[in-house]
Structure 1
Amino acid sequence: MATPSKKDQLFLGSFIHSTKLDELTYLHNAAVFVDAQGKIVHVERDCDEQRAREALVPRLGWGAGEDELVVVRGGGTGEFFFPGFVDTHLHASQYPNVGIFGKSTLLDWLNTYTFPLEASLSDQAKARKVYSRVIRKTLSHGTTCAAYYATVDVPSTNLLADLCLSYGQRALVGRVCMDQLAPSYYRDESPAASLAATRESIAYIESIDPSRSLIRPVLTPRFAPSCSAPLMRGLGDLAAEMPHLPIQTHISENKNEIALVAELFPKASTGAADDSYAGVYDAFGLLTDRTILAHGVHLSESEATLIASRKAKVSHCPCSNSAITSGAARVRWLLEKGVVCGLGTDMSGGYSPSVLEAARLAALVSRHVAMGGDEKAKLSVEEVLYLATRGGAEVVGLEDRVGGFEVGMDWDAQLVGLGVVDPLGEGVVDDQEDGNVDVFGWETWPDLVAKWVYNGDDRNTKKVWVKGRLVHERK
């Protein structure tokens, strides 16, 4: 469970964060001051603990005693603080199926693997077991904020919100809306029933965190094919009625899915300018600056332009796009069109709970796009880390609160430790006995970060904080 911090905290060491899409800023021998509410109140370069205590702590009006101030040192070689990762798209209810997708493509995979598992989580004991594990697992990989899909079941969805709050993970939690093209045992009975259940879940989630400091409900039409036109229209009306609510759904993940959308929602029936996938969401009022669109693999020029004009965002899910053979999203193209992008693990279409894994796969997928003739498509280490933090924060509407180490931001952070090889090459020092990343001592800091991105895993995630609270510590 999360360990509340009722004290002011002083973090000392190296701090690395994205300041631009293609730029990381390195702060070495620095001090970051975090107040008891979990906000960064001061950042000081070239500052050791003595100076921090004697000169800066009194200036902040803090008590200087050990009982009043928590000091966290991240000073080992190959050790640094990094912003927490933001997972902009994952299905908490599908976590037991990670790695299980056989030879399926999207629509077959849903019926064969996904719907039966999700439906079974109406069993509260089973849901608690699954949700507790996925929260703890994602936290252990440095995910401080996650945009979760739950199930159609209201109690199960509410339980996920309860557990996120209990464990201290920042989360968007959505009850899945679907009233067609799903098994009879797992879908809403009618548009009215779906909307009523959605309102019920929203009310509950807002009651457990009225200030929305950690947990927020999110409108969640699963994807257009599983929602009838009346349900889509009702959700659009609800989005207009509750302008503080984010919206999450899927778009253009698979070519057969796109064809199905055009068949189900011809432009004559929606009033859209065209029958494109993005046009359907727009026609029903679901394409807004609060909308998170997962995948966007096969978007057309006109769709990307429409999405950019509405300021909707895209969650890039390279792992699942490859695993389910959906395709390779053109992230550089989307960014150049003005579409904000973040990263999603998309479990269980994706097989890993790690946003770091999503970052490395985003880099690799971009190289496959480049091999198709678009050389500038390649994403750098700096760029995929931006997508994993600041980009993701903007996707979920929290860019003013998380993703960096500026004053005023919440302290959502992870302490990363890399294995330093001893002089004789017989082991590692600095108590970093686990992990695939070996540091020899001659690497530059950009080299260290690149080695982490391409070789790192949860063994390198030593501690994780959300809003100043320690929520994970590797023993």
Structure 2
Amino acid sequence: MFNYLFEGTIIHCPERLKLDVIENGFLHVQDSKVKYIGNIKPENIPSNTVYYKLNRYQFLIPGFIDTHIHAPQYPNVGLGYDAELLDWLKKYTFPTEVHFKNENYAKRIYTYIVSRTLKNGTTTAAYYATIHLKSTIILADIAEEKGQRSFIGFNNITDCAPPELLQESNDVSIEETEKFIQTILDKNNKLVQPIVTPRSALRCNEDLLKRLGDLAEKYQLNIQTHISENKKEVEAALEAYPGYKNFADIFDRNNLLTKKTVLGHGIHLDENEKRTILERGSSIAHCPNSNVCLHSGFCDVRDLLNRGINVGLGTDISGGCNPTILDAIRLSLITSNGVSFSKPEEDNYKPINYVEAFYLGTLGGAEALRIDDRVGNFNVGKEFDALLIDLNSKDSPIDLDLKCEDDFTTKELFQKFIYLGDDHNIDKVFVAGRCVVEDR
């Protein structure tokens, strides 16, 4: 167990869409959980407590949460963005994923992606893997070893992919999925959990979807998949499922829209789909970088939030070209501004602001994955997943000595980190109290 006392600026979202900036504050972590947060120094601190006195340009924030990331696609980051989604998958993604039958290759790539995301402040990641059972277990082992809170998804694909990436049958797909689930649960690691992962409606038949829904219910697991990312994908899905009224209905009628479901993208949802998703308590993983890179469209996050739908952020590596949620926060702001340009003036449409975008990357992601009872902010009793930010670090991209008079306010410094910061400003990364990334 880990005990800390931080003194200085503490920034988090104590509740949905609300920012709390505590200057000259104290945060006490005892036995890896938040024991106290406030402006009065707590008493009776255990003698083994590690004390951090933060300077003017340092502050503590919750760890970032990536609700949608494809671990085996990391070799393709930055490649192929002249193509749209379906062509990009055929040309880049599927040929790369075939190589994960090689366990040595899988170990090398998965070590890179877990290390890279941790370095960039991702304390929780919801990973898609491949159809290769042993390689997917390797990803879980690496996440456990490096101390990243993770949801690991063994992919289910029986249709619409190269033969090397198709499971032999529904029976084999379900058998291997359950074997993976049991293997991960038997490890009894509180940080690493299995997540049921039908790759998409296009790549799983109806019987398989239904059986995966039953499997998720049996083990009370989270579910992740893709929905309405690309208009051509939507058309193809409805063509493959002619008896269904819309894309969301495909998942809903097969027991895959639950309170623990995270749906990647959700760009082209209609009114009925949004109502269904809200009623089921399912969530959207907003992936703004990928949505632009692969020409898929702009997701109207303001509309989703106004309806009460849970929304988190995803990097969608390698549909997205940046493995940090800080980039997703920035691009969610840019995307929302872009959406606002097409709205009639009389609608008084308000794009999301930096507070709401920060919420999406922290507490919003925790709510989407249904782990907000454990992480996402610094409320008392939560596990300590946190980033120690230093704006004046070596090689920082942020120039601080710019004002003629006084200094930037704390909120201004925070905004500079949101818009300009990078991994150089992330001095330490904590997951469940353990410091998993030290000062660099």
AA in 1 matched with 2:397: N
State the match for 1:26 in structure 2: 21
Mapped pair 1:395 → 2:368: yes
Q: What's the secondary structure of 2:362's corresponding residue?
A: helix
After TM superposition, which residue ranges in structure 1, 4 or more long, deviate above 6 angstroms?
A: none
**Deviation (angstroms), 1:20:** 4.0
AA in 2 matched with 1:253: E
Q: Distance in 2 between matches of 1:104 and 1:143?
A: 28
TM-score normalised by the chain length of structure 2: 0.96
Q: Distance in 2 between matches of 1:343 and 1:79?
A: 24
Q: Distance in 2 between matches of 1:22 and 1:153?
A: 39
State the match for 2:33 in structure 1: 39
State the match for 1:456 in structure 2: 421
1:118-168 Cα deviation digits (max 9, x unpaired): 110111111111111111111111110000001100001100001100000
Which one of 246, 250, 265 corresponds to residue 222 of structure 2?
Answer: 246
Between stretches 137-146 and 437-446, larger displacement belongs to 437-446
AA in 2 matched with 1:95: Y
Which one of 62, 70, 78 corresponds to residue 50 of structure 2?
Answer: 70
Q: What's the secondary structure of 1:104's corresponding residue?
A: coil
**Deviation (angstroms), 1:450:** 1.2
Which one of 335, 359, 374 corresponds to residue 365 of structure 1?
Answer: 335
State the match for 1:225 in structure 2: 202
Mapped pair 1:300 → 2:270: yes
Aligned ranges 1:409-424 → 2 under 5 Å: 409-419=382-392
Q: What's the secondary structure of 2:164's corresponding residue?
A: coil
**Deviation (angstroms), 1:21:** 4.1
Question: 5+ unaligned residues in a row in structure 1: which ranges?
Answer: 1-5, 420-431
State the match for 1:144 in structure 2: 123
* RMSD after superposition: 1.3
**Deviation (angstroms), 1:377:** 4.3
Q: What's the secondary structure of 1:414's corresponding residue?
A: strand
Q: Distance in 2 between matches of 1:368 and 1:28?
A: 34
State the match for 1:425 in structure 2: none
**Deviation (angstroms), 1:373:** 1.4
State the match for 1:83 in structure 2: 62
Mapped pair 1:381 → 2:337: no
Which one of 132, 138, 153 corresponds to residue 111 of structure 2?
Answer: 132
8 Å Cα contact 2:257-2:282 kept in structure 1: yes
State the match for 1:261 in structure 2: 237
Which one of 8, 16, 22 corresponds to residue 13 of structure 1?
Answer: 8
8 Å Cα contact 1:86-1:389 kept in structure 2: yes
**Deviation (angstroms), 1:230:** 1.4
State the match for 2:434 in structure 1: 469
**Deviation (angstroms), 1:328:** 0.1
Q: What's the secondary structure of 2:340's corresponding residue?
A: helix
Q: What's the secondary structure of 1:185's corresponding residue?
A: helix
Aligned residues: 433
**Deviation (angstroms), 1:403:** 0.9
Q: What's the secondary structure of 1:437's corresponding residue?
A: coil
Q: What's the secondary structure of 2:394's corresponding residue?
A: coil
1:251-301 Cα deviation digits (max 9, x unpaired): 00000000001100012xxxx5x2x00011001110111100000000001
**Deviation (angstroms), 1:80:** 0.1
8 Å Cα contact 1:22-1:380 kept in structure 2: no
Q: Distance in 1 between matches of 2:360 and 2:434?
A: 24
Q: Distance in 2 between matches of 1:332 and 1:467?
A: 31
AA in 1 matched with 2:386: A
AA in 2 matched with 1:359: I
1:72-115 Cα deviation digits (max 9, x unpaired): 23x21211000000000000111111111241111111111001
Q: Distance in 1 between matches of 2:130 and 2:166?
A: 10
8 Å Cα contact 1:28-1:46 kept in structure 2: no
AA in 2 matched with 1:250: H
AA in 2 matched with 1:433: K
Q: What's the secondary structure of 1:42's corresponding residue?
A: strand
Which one of 331, 338, 350 corresponds to residue 320 of structure 2?
Answer: 350
Mapped pair 1:434 → 2:387: no
**Deviation (angstroms), 1:34:** 1.3
| Bigger radius of gyration | 1
State the match for 2:44 in structure 1: 56
8 Å Cα contact 1:21-1:382 kept in structure 2: no
Q: Distance in 2 between matches of 1:467 and 1:324?
A: 35
8 Å Cα contact 2:2-2:433 kept in structure 1: no
Q: Distance in 1 between matches of 2:55 and 2:425?
A: 13
**Deviation (angstroms), 1:393:** 0.2
Between stretches 366-375 and 384-393, larger displacement belongs to 366-375
Q: Distance in 1 between matches of 2:122 and 2:349?
A: 29
TM-score normalised by the chain length of structure 1: 0.89
User: CA 1:377–1:193 in structure 2 vs 1: closer, same or farther (change >3 Å)?
Assistant: farther
8 Å Cα contact 1:331-1:377 kept in structure 2: no
Between stretches 95-104 and 297-306, larger displacement belongs to 95-104
State the match for 1:447 in structure 2: 412
Q: Distance in 2 between matches of 1:113 and 1:177?
A: 19
1:435-468 Cα deviation digits (max 9, x unpaired): 2112236211221111111111111100000000
1:378-430 Cα deviation digits (max 9, x unpaired): 110000000000000011110111111111000000000113xxxxxxxxxxx
User: CA 1:102–1:388 in structure 2 vs 1: closer, same or farther (change >3 Å)?
Assistant: closer
**Deviation (angstroms), 1:30:** 2.0
**Deviation (angstroms), 1:376:** 2.1
**Identical residues among aligned pairs (%):** 39
Which one of 279, 284, 295 corresponds to residue 325 of structure 1?
Answer: 295
User: CA 1:102–1:438 in structure 2 vs 1: closer, same or farther (change >3 Å)?
Assistant: same
**Deviation (angstroms), 1:7:** 4.2
Q: What's the secondary structure of 1:117's corresponding residue?
A: helix
8 Å Cα contact 1:308-1:338 kept in structure 2: yes
Q: Distance in 2 between matches of 1:447 and 1:8?
A: 30
Q: What's the secondary structure of 1:173's corresponding residue?
A: strand
8 Å Cα contact 2:14-2:378 kept in structure 1: no
8 Å Cα contact 1:369-1:377 kept in structure 2: no
Q: What's the secondary structure of 2:165's corresponding residue?
A: coil
